[in-house]
């Protein structure tokens, strides 16, 4: 297919939410779990550090990753069948959840290391591997193949600047007081998977 259309990609989530409000469920669950994590840490004091903190972080990360995959499965069903089945889309995620966890961990580590020591390489890694999770859900790819698929979509199909722009917009939205962080994360979680699902070869 052709390179992703940035205008249609940015507009699509709003149109999809009007016709399929159910796709808002996974991001809302992910946001709720993250909020609970923040509240637990802020109210737990020093007792929340150490092993307990590690367990809570792993649980939060796993839930957020599952919700991300679920949203991708929903979007894929909508684009292919113009309808979405909660149960069926959830089963699709569970079938590849192991690959999601491993790939998500690899992407998180590489991006974090890149951002910590070398900002520009960190951004390049973030963009390059940004559609690895959608690739796993849509095509049931393994870890290595999903990373390769993401790099192919970003570079071979010429979508680097489009995905980078989406990420930048998400970051800028996060500066809006009170709702910015949630809004930016929510829209980015729709924009990037949509671009891949709609325009990948």
pLDDT tens digit string along 9-34? 999 989 999 999 999 999 888 878 87
Report residue 177: phi and psi, to 5°: -60, 145
The residue with tokens 């999601």 is 100
User: Is 170 within 8 Å of 130 (Cβ atoms)?
Assistant: no
DSSP classification of residue 46: G
pLDDT at 30: 84
Higher pLDDT, 195 or 48: 195
What global pTM score does this model have? 0.88
Task: Give the residue extent of every domain in the chain.
Answer: 6-199
83 CB-side CA count, 13 A: 3
Higher pLDDT, 179 or 137: 137
45: left (phi over 0), alpha (psi -120 to 50) or beta: left
Instruction: For 187-197, write each residue's pLDDT tens digit.
Output: 999 999 999 99
Task: Give the max Cα distance, the chain.
Answer: 53
């Amino acid at each position: 297919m052709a390179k992703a259309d940035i205008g249609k990609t940015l507009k699509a989530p709003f149109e999809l939410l009007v016709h399929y409000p159910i796709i808002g469920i996974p991001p809302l669950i992910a946001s709720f779990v993250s909020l609970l994590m923040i509240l637990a840490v802020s109210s737990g004091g020093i007792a929340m550090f150490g092993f307990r903190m590690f367990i809570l972080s792993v649980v939060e990360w796993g839930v957020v990753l599952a919700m991300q995959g679920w949203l991708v499965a929903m979007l894929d069903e909508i684009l292919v069948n113009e309808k979405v089945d909660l149960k069926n889309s959830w089963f699709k995620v569970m079938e590849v959840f192991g690959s999601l966890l491993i790939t998500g961990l690899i992407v998180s580590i590489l991006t974090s290391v890149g951002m910590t020591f070398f900002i520009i390489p960190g951004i390049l890694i973030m963009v390059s591997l940004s559609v690895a999770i959608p690739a796993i859900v849509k095509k049931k790819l393994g870890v290595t193949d999903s990373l390769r698929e993401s790099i192919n979509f970003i570079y071979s199909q010429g979508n680097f600047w489009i995905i980078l722009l989406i990420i930048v917009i998400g970051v800028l939205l996060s500066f809006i007081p009170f709702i910015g962080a949630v809004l930016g994360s929510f829209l980015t979680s729709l924009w990037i998977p949509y671009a891949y699902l709609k325009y990948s070869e």
